[in-house]
Amino acid sequence: MNVNVLVVDDSATVRQEVRAAIAGTGFNVIEAEDGEEGISQIRSGEITCVVCDVNMPRKNGIQLVQEIKQDPEYADLPILMLTTEGAQELISQARDAGAIGWIIKPFKPDLLAAAVQRLAQLTTECNVPN
């Protein structure tokens, strides 16, 4: 199975760090600069799972999760939030919207890689289009 991980973050540096962290997994990394571009990538590509920031221009990460989870075609797509935010209210909003997990930056590369591997495994178990 081809595993395509979408990384949605307005920081090019963070996208590069995530790419480096999961480079050894053999997964393909696709990048988006904000929530609007992320939604476009999800709907136009074969995305296996998503790693998404919260604070971004045009459409934030929670809005991305809400919009994607309302679409029956992508409702099972696993989304992990990766952000500097640690407020319980935001974490609850993300979970209520359908995000699977929350990792606070700065992150440990090995832990992020393990989390992405678990997300990819969930996709296989749920038979999400990929």
**Residues 50-102 pLDDT 10s:** 999 999 999 999 999 999 999 999 999 999 999 998 889 999 999 999 999 99
- Written as six digits, the tokens of 5 are 């991980």
pLDDT at 129 over 60: no
pLDDT at 23: 81
Q: Where along the chain do its domains lie?
A: 4-126
Task: Domain 4-126: give its CATH architecture.
Answer: 3-Layer(aba) Sandwich (3.40)
Banded pLDDT at 124 (limits 50, 70, 90): low
Q: What is the mean pLDDT of the chain?
A: 91
User: Strand order in 101-104's β-sheet?
Assistant: 28-32, 4-8, 49-52, 79-83, 101-104
pTM of structure? 0.91
DSSP summary character for residue 128: -
